[in-house]
A = this chain, B = another copy of it.
Amino acid sequence: MQNRPARSARVTITDVGAAAGVSPATVSRVLNGTARVEESLALRVQQAVAELGYRPNAAAQGLARGQWETIGVLVPDLANPYFPDVLKAVSAVARSNGRRMLVMESDEDPTVEHELVEDLMRCCDGVLLCSPRMPRAELAELAARDHPMVLFNRVEPGLSVPSISVDFHGGMTAICGHLAQLGHRRAIYLAGPEASWANSERIRAFSSARAFGLEVTVVPCGATSQAGYDAVALAEGSRLGDRGAVFDDGVTAVMTYNDLVAFGALMRLRELGVDVPGEISVTGFDDISLDRVAHSNLTTVSVPRDELGRQAGEMLEQLLTKGYDAEPRYLPMELRVRDTTGRGPVP
């Protein structure tokens, strides 16, 4: 039964040295392979280590080496099914480089976000920052800290912070193109968080869509399944009276900020007895694999989550070891046409 609040009497490198009859420096050398030491001594050291159950103290190592062997990742919401895959990949890369991964969650709260990043910087060699909503100025200030950092899922041009992201604009363009080709002429977009870069990138695609004959109306919504459900319920409340149509005149497609929103919208549409894709086409965004499980067979665009995590991790590692990597990276999205989109009114 243990009963020591803080910590027990730890065995140090000096103890090991004493037990093995060598200096602490030699112990350090055999442990880290820093220099050749005679077989016999090395053996004695290893025995002593085993017998005493010695474990190097990470803080002391960190202090002496000026490194923590740790990278930090800040994500807005751990429960977002988008992140686990990314984190898995980041963690794998980190591990293969001999580093741990420290994860923090900002709960989408921009005020704590800043504080958390600072804390991460204090205890990690490098930081992977996924902060869609942080004001650019604040980001700039953080960047000025001159601490290794990689921006993730967000690109801020002249900010001298390496960044990696997904080509959201291209993804949404693909969706618009798909709908336009199916003959859709009017669509609504259930928008994500307003301040989010990811959201504005998607919206940016709509101007070119107009050129191809697809008119998009942006409707504030959110990022959750519930938000999608509610948005449709709302539209229904205000429109259904008109002439039985759920949406405004001529709207035959609903695009969404992400798959979750799409699922929620689909659920509500299904409850309303709306035929998808007969009357209304619905598209998602992200292709969270949940779809396999939901049987909804949502048409969407997929983001290569593990590739994203892998490359992000590698960029950070490169930053840590080789220095600054200038060019921002964009990963392409792929259109996944499935069962929730069909022909529009103009064949």
Interface residues on A, range: 35 or more
CB of A138 to closest CB in B, whole Å: 15
Complex Cα–Cα for A80 and B83 (A): 11
Complex Cα–Cα for A85 and B148 (A): 30
A87–B91 CB distance below 8 A = no
Chain A, residues 82-116, CB within 8 Å of chain B (1/0): the string is 01110110010000000011111101000000000
* A307 close to chain B: CB less than 8 A: no
- Other-chain contact of A293, B56, B59, B123, B225 (Cβ < 8 Å): B225
Chain A stretch 16-67: residues in CB contact (< 8 A) with chain B = 53, 55-60, 62-63, 66-67
* A122 close to chain B: CB less than 8 A: yes
B78–A4 CB distance below 8 A = no
Instruction: List the B side residues contacting A121 at CB < 8 Å.
Output: 55
A118–B55 CB distance below 8 A = yes
Instruction: List the B side residues contacting A321 at CB < 8 Å.
Output: 5
* A70 close to chain B: CB less than 8 A: yes
* A81 close to chain B: CB less than 8 A: yes
B1–A160 CB distance below 8 A = yes
Complex Cα–Cα for A267 and B55 (A): 49
Q: Knowing A55-B122, A264-B293, A290-B293 touch, does A78 contact B87 (C-beta < 8 A)? A: yes
B56–A59 CB distance below 8 A = no
Complex Cα–Cα for A143 and B260 (A): 42
Instruction: List the B side residues contacting A250 at CB < 8 Å.
Output: none
Q: Assuming A87-B105, A267-B292, what are 12 further A-B pairs, CB within 8 angstroms?
A: A1-B324, A5-B322, A57-B63, A59-B62, A59-B123, A63-B63, A78-B88, A101-B102, A263-B293, A267-B295, A294-B296, A295-B296
A123–B105 CB distance below 8 A = no
* A136 close to chain B: CB less than 8 A: no
Instruction: List the B side residues contacting A225 at CB < 8 Å.
Output: 292-293
Instruction: List the B side residues contacting A1 at CB < 8 Å.
Output: 160, 324
CB of A196 to closest CB in B, whole Å: 20
* A194 close to chain B: CB less than 8 A: no
